[in-house]
Structure 1
Amino acid sequence: MNKKKLFSLLMACTMAVTLLAGCGGGSGSSASAPAAPAGSASAPSAAAFKLGATGPLTGGAAIYGNAAKNGAQIAVDEINAAGGAVQFELQYQDDTHDAEKAVNAYNKLKDWGMQISLGSVTSKPCEATAAETYADRIFALTPSASATAVTEGKDNMFQMCFMDPNQGSASAQYISEKGLGSKIAIIWKNDDVYSKGIHDTFTAKAAEMGLEIVSDTTFADGNDTDFSVQLSDAQSNGADLVFLPMYYQPASLIFAQAASMSYAPTWFGVDGMDGILTMEGFDPALAEGVILLTPFNADSTDSRTQAFVAEYQKRFGEIPNQFAADAYDCVYAYKQALEAAGATADMTAEQLCGLMIQQFTTMTFDGLTGDGMTWDANGQVSKSPKGMIIQNGAYVGLD
């Protein structure tokens, strides 16, 4: 064979190999992994567990979703920087507080290869994604979806936040024990599982504690901008404390409209109220004196909380709320459980699911939102709430 023919033959072989490589040819090749969703800021130093979540990153409930995402990201970055055996890759998808969009977002995370989940941030979307994680055997630990339906009948769905029934009964007990009001009014949202769940257990516990409920009024989507009827009923019946089991958006309107009526009862809210001070366009003075139960106190003097608050302020320019702290705790609880189980990042989601169920139903966890936390077989967390009051535009501990 002459040199010219030999050169041509070598060039042809080289082109064939190149084409095969470019097409992913060969019987043992694998397709490219799906593109990772937006939102990752961590850089794991070793094989990482893929941790996914959905939440409202845009829209009316975005304060909650972004707080949870931010808190979780800080925890992931701290853990990855430490370089231990457990590393995380965190991905959040926007569900805009919509159940159907949450399922679509969940499917993107599943295609990405999610192994463990932070569920969804708010209750209704989390009910939808919890059904998916249950069917797919992906363990989920939500920071803040508190409805009972989130975990009901699902052995692999757990909560870092208080259940709605616990918030309702704890609020009634706290009001009674602290003597905060003698005549109670309730304004609640009847088409929201979060609000209804808290309302129902509050009224049951209030009866048990001997609290007098003088007004019990409601609203729904479409009539959630004018609260004059509800406020007039509370005022005319002499309510000196108004209980608001709702998110901060309608509460902000209630505070403004009550002020215009010169009605100034004691206001008592729940964890959905957290975030009102950073709501765009809201006058924090309207929330002066509002009391709520929350497991997190950003003013705490313990070093861990102070470090978290300082880092959150440095990154995001604001004080972290309970949702951020709960999500931060979720990631560290996962770290503890994965380490104790001897889990490795090459395990399947189903393998990890079994290990996490075993760990979370037997372990004790200390976090920003409580010491000595435990979970029962229904995924419900046991920890103590703290009373907070808004003073001079900031949360101040009552206990």
Structure 2
Amino acid sequence: MKKKFVSFAMAMVMVLGLAACGEKKAETPAQTPAETPAEAAGSTFKLGTIGPLTGDAAIYGQAVANGAKIAVDEINASDSAIKFEFQSQDDEADGEKSVNAYNTLMDWGMQVMVGPTTTGASIAVSAQANADRTFMLTPSASSVDVIDGKDNVFQVCFTDPNQGTGAADYIAENMAGAKVAVIYRNDDAYSQGIRDTFVSEAGAKGLEVVYEGTFTADTATDFSVQLTGAQSAGADTVFLPIYYQPASVILNQANAMGYAPTFFGVDGMDGILTMEGFDTALAEGVMLLTPFSADADDERTQNFVKTYQDQFGDTPNQFAADAYDGVYIVKAALEAAGCTGDMSAADICEALVGVMPSISVDGLTGAGMTWDASGAVSKAPMAVIIENGTYVLP
């Protein structure tokens, strides 16, 4: 089937009120100490972030910590009355360790949080933050379970259901006659959530899903059965609602067996181009859903990319951009609520909960971002294509 790529925004017209979901090396410490001193009594806030700075998902957590730091540094260097002290904690993408990291930050005096990074960790921490009445804005956790029933928890990225809906709508509208296979991880809330909505929407759109294959964290090293099943079923498009690590294995094994369908990914695949040891030529032509492209030519994006590259030696991914936006979202909310740095975390939380549905923020990952009372964000996504080892706008 001929690969046809057009702006993903066309496919998202039907998803009004959408709320979707650079690698530093191993020497990154498990804990980054406070980066910036208090500069103005009464207007300086302790901001913490949590993510996997080490381990298999370190690309995500390092990007979040880096993006947040750039935003904090910019704000502290500006004439803003709002200033931040900043600290990042490592959770290795583990829920229990993430709660421990959260408690460490609370002992430090954290007043607002931009984190955690991954969905499982965020589900665990959101329950504790809700009980403590700590304001939580996750830059990249996309499951609705993170925000469900928690009025103090908000998201920067797209939700899982809307990623699934958007992907199905795009394929149905722009890849007519596609025979689709789905390979997903059935012990992961992120992957399962996107798959469930994708399959439901695909059926409603008359899209033909000819094969589904599953895997778990323990079986993510060999996809020969799933790929053979997809190929035998005649799938010319393979939808991958998964993270970049298993996606890299799938692309390697598909290439080895001579199977070359259109691979269609989601935001969790961002990071595959900076994965150590991965041949980026294997990702040629892969499309993925993302709110951010480092190749965008607007001044704000290019300034961010340059700063990131100068400081960290890598090109920022969407996780870095989401975290950068997250800090500015917190700043806008603090300003709108009239908060001061001498307020307790609980008092700040109640004030921010009250203003979040009324603010609008222009960021790297979306113009005019708004939030409803559920904590979900509304912003327009886009798709990028991997060409010659870079993300390219269609």
Say yes or no: TM over 0.5: yes
Whether the 8 Å CA contact 1:181–1:241 is kept in 2: the answer is no
1:249 is aligned to 2:245: yes
Residue 148 (structure 1) aligns with: 144
User: Is the 2:171–2:178 contact (alpha carbons within 8 Å) kept by the matching residues of 1?
Assistant: no
Quick one: distance in 2 between partners of 1:258 and 1:171?
A: 21
Match of 2:212 in 1: 216
Aligned to 2:209, the other structure's residue is in SS state strand
2:119 to 99, 123, 134: 123
**Aligned-pair CA distance for 1:131:** 0.6
Counterpart of 2:340 (choices 333, 344, 347) is 344
Q: 1:263 to 1:168 in 2, by over 3 A?
A: same
CA distance in 1: counterparts of 2:389 and 2:122, whole angstroms:
31
CA distance in 1, matches of 2:391, 2:224: 28
| Residue identity opposite 1:97 in structure 2 | A
Matched, 1:237 2:233: yes
Task: Please show how residues 235-314 of structure 1 align to structure 2 within 5 Å.
Answer: 235-314=231-310
Letter aligned with residue 109 of structure 1: L
What is residue 134 of structure 2 aligned with on the other side? Answer: 138
Tell me which structure has the larger Cα radius of gyration: 1
Alignment match, 1:46: 40
CA deviations 1:300-329 (Å, max 9, x no partner) are 111111100110111111111000000000
Cα deviation for residue 195 of structure 1 reads 0.2
Check conservation: 1:38, 1:91, Cα contact below 8 A.
Answer: yes
Distance in 1, matches of 2:72 and 2:341, equals: 15
The one-character-per-residue Cα deviations of 1:183-223 (angstroms, maximum 9, x if unpaired) are 00000000000000000000011111111000011011221
* Residue 173 in structure 1 maps to residue 180 in structure 2: no
Letter in 2 for 1:327: A
* Aligned-partner Cα distance in 2 for 1:195–1:39: 33
* Matched AA of 1:304: R
Give the conservation status (yes or no) of the 8 Å contact 1:44–1:89.
yes
The alpha-carbon deviation at position 362 of structure 1 amounts to 1.1
CA distance in 2, matches of 1:181, 1:154: 41
Counterpart among 194, 198, 202 of residue 198 in structure 2: 202
Q: Does 1:326 align with 2:359?
A: no
Once residues 180 and 67 of structure 1 are traced to their aligned partners in structure 2, the CA distance between those partners, rounded to angstroms, is: 36
Q: What CA RMSD, in Å, does the superposition of the two structures yield over aligned residues? A: 1.1
Q: Offset at 1:73?
A: 0.3
CA distance in 2, matches of 1:254, 1:181: 24
CA contact 1:43–1:77 (8 Å) conserved in 2: no
SS of the aligned residue for 2:218 comes to: coil
SS at match of 2:69: helix
Q: Distance in 2 between matches of 1:329 and 1:200?
A: 29
Q: Which runs of 5+ in 1 are unaligned?
A: 1-36
Bigger RCO (CA 8 Å, 6+ sep): 2
* Aligned match of 1:190: 186
Could you list the runs of 5+ residues in structure 2 that have no partner in the other structure? 1-30
Runs of 4+ with >4 A deviation = none
- State the alpha-carbon separation in 2 of the partners of residues 174 and 266 from structure 1: 13
- For these two proteins, the number of residue pairs brought into alignment is 362
Aligned to 2:361: 365
Change (3 A) 1:336 1:388: same
**SS state at 1:361 partner:** helix
Equivalent-residue separation in structure 1 for 2:38 and 2:325 (angstroms): 19
Letter in 2 for 1:312: Y
The aligned residue for residue 14 of structure 2 is none
Equivalent residue letter for 1:305: T
Q: CA deviation at 1:181?
A: 6.0
Structure 1 residues 339 and 245, CA gap change in structure 2 (3 angstroms): same
Residue 353 of structure 1, aligned match among 349, 355, 366: 349
Corresponding residue SS for 1:222? helix
Query: TM (normalized to structure 1)?
Result: 0.89
Q: Residue type matched to 1:357 in 2?
A: V
CA distance in 2, matches of 1:74, 1:43: 15
Hey, what's the Cα distance between the residues in 2 that align with 1:386 and 1:117? Answer: 27
Show the counterpart of 1:17.
Answer: none
Distance 1:224 1:181, change over 3 A: farther
| Rounded Cα–Cα distance in structure 2 between residues aligned with 1:145 and 1:327 | 11
Q: Mark the CA change 1:205 to 1:137 in structure 2 (over 3 Å): closer, same or farther.
A: same
Confirm or deny: 8 A CA contact 2:289 2:382 kept in the other structure.
yes
Q: C-alpha displacement at 1:43, in angstroms?
A: 4.0
Task: State how 1:75-90 maps to structure 2 within 5 Å.
Answer: 75-90=71-86
Matched, 1:386 2:364: no
Using the size of structure 2 for normalisation, the TM-score is 0.90
CA distance in 1, matches of 2:263, 2:254: 11
3-state SS of paired residue (1:205): helix
Q: What secondary structure, in the 3-state scheme, does the structure 2 residue paired with 1:141 have?
A: strand
Partner residue in 2 for 1:13: none
Distance in 1 between residues matched to 2:345 and 2:60, nearest whole Å: 27
Shift of 1:119: 2.6
Q: Distance in 2 between matches of 1:45 and 1:181?
A: 60
Distance of aligned partners of 1:309 and 1:181 in 2 relative to their CA distance in 1, 3 Å threshold = farther
